[in-house]
Amino acid sequence: MTVRSLISTTDLSGPDIVALLDDAATLRAQRSALTSGGPAPTLLAGRTVALIFEKPSTRTRVSFEVGVAELGGRPLPLSSADLQLGRGETVADTGAVLGRYVQGLVVRTFAQARLEELASASGVPVINALTDEEHPCQALADLLTVRDAFGTFAGRTLTYVGDGNNVAHSLLLAGAAVGLGVRIAHPDGYAPDAAVVARARALAEAHGSEVTVTTDAAAAAEGTHVLYTDVWASMGQEAEQAARAAVFAPYTLDGALVARAADDAIVLHCLPAHRGEEIAADVLDGPRSRVFDQAENRLHAQKAVLAMLVGGSQPGAIAAAEGGG
């Protein structure tokens, strides 16, 4: 397989995703060994990866910066405000120039089409660090967290309650590709994109899982293994915050929804969270919550992606070299 960039979750097949999760788990174990004197990985030695963020970020920006450095590469954080991009230089010209200097681009932006343009103009791998449409690196970390909890995806179901947004889209596509059942419960008017749902349904059919999209949160939570939510107003939708709060209130991830889930269910949130809005404080901070492990897994999952796209390692090769995977 040759994956050139990670722009959409669908750039990865189900087996690619599972192999990357194996690599991520291996890199995680190696990182713990490092503190007790294990060898430092050099998968990105001599490579520079530019990080361009056109929206705010805590987890993604820091975990990519740390991840590139931990693999022996050089992270180059760039704010779009400091680039000529912020003064009107085209995306294509920016990509063409950066491609002469760096070996990879990690980009958070609005329209996903900007990433496609950067990838073709730069000729170097581009990694989606969140767009209006998708958040593939988040979905990889989420699946790693689910697999950590249950050991497998087969026969398990994840229920996402809230806005049919970028996070929901990537969960649908990645979950379906690895055989995890995905249920989305959304208020009327806030369904995930129909084309994404159709694609996820086709993947689910091929991988023995099921995709459900409904407005009934209680039914979607019944017997589920993972309860997941995200903010009601994403970055760029700040003006809609108040209107959305009224519509989304019945979709709060609270104790009543958790009570409907399986006995061993876990709770995830991509963060940042608003306690008392999309998630009750006692659920986010409660015993089922795995949100900080999930945030940590961003680092490990993204290192696996960087090793593949910028370091040229085959998915699963890192785990195989350690005798895992």
Rule CB under 6 A: which residues touch ligand CP?
57-60, 130, 138, 270-271
Which listed option, ligand CP, ligand NVA, none, makes contact with residue 257 (CB within 5 to 8 Å by class)?
none
CB nearer ligand CP, residue 138 or residue 229? 138
Measured CA angle at 243 (ends 237, 244), to 5 deg = 65
Task: Give the residue numbers marked as catalytic.
Answer: 108, 135, 138, 230, 270, 298
Contact 204, 172 (CB under 8 A): no
- CB 306 to ligand NVA: min, Å: 19
DSSP string, 190-235: -PPPHHHHHHHHHHHHHHT--EEEES-HHHHHTT-SEEEE--SS-T
- CB 182 to ligand CP: min, Å: 18
CB nearer ligand CP, residue 30 or residue 138? 138
Which listed option, ligand CP, ligand NVA, none, makes contact with residue 90 (CB within 5 to 8 Å by class)?
none
Q: Could you tell me which stretch among 111-119, 165-173, 220-228, 298-306 binds ligand NVA (CB under 6 A)?
A: 165-173
Here's the x/- map for ligand NVA, 129-158, by CB under 6 A: it reads as -x----------------------------
Q: Which candidate, 245, 302, 320, places its Cα nearest to that of 278?
A: 245
- CB 178 to ligand NVA: min, Å: 21
Q: Which candidate, 63, 71, 78, 77, places its Cα nearest to that of 46?
A: 71
Helices 291-309 & 14-34 angle (0-180, nearest 10): 110
Q: Could you tell me which stretch among 38-46, 72-80, 97-105, 226-234 binds ligand NVA (CB under 6 A)?
A: 226-234
How long is the chain? 325
Contact 109, 115 (CB under 8 A): yes
Here's the x/- map for ligand NVA, 274-313, by CB under 6 A: it reads as ----------------------------------------
Which listed option, ligand CP, ligand NVA, none, makes contact with residue 212 (CB within 5 to 8 Å by class)?
none
**Closest CB to ligand CP: residue number:** 60
Measured CA angle at 149 (ends 44, 68), to 5 deg = 15
Cis peptide before 272 (omega within 30 of 0): yes
CB nearer ligand CP, residue 48 or residue 57? 57
Which listed option, ligand CP, ligand NVA, none, makes contact with residue 165 (CB within 5 to 8 Å by class)?
ligand NVA
Q: Residues 6 or more apart from 111 whose CB is under 8 A from it?
A: 131, 132, 133
Give the three-state DSSP class for 229.
Answer: strand
State yes or no: residue 167 binds ligand NVA (CB under 6 A).
yes
- If DSSP states are collapsed to H, E and C, what string results for 266-291? EEEECCCCCECCCECHHHHCCCCECH
Which listed option, ligand CP, ligand NVA, none, makes contact with residue 58 (CB within 5 to 8 Å by class)?
ligand CP
Euclidean distance between CA atoms 117 and 121, whole angstroms? 6
State yes or no: residue 213 binds ligand NVA (CB under 6 A).
no
Binding footprint of ligand NVA on the chain (CB under 6 A): 130, 165-167, 230-231, 234-235, 270
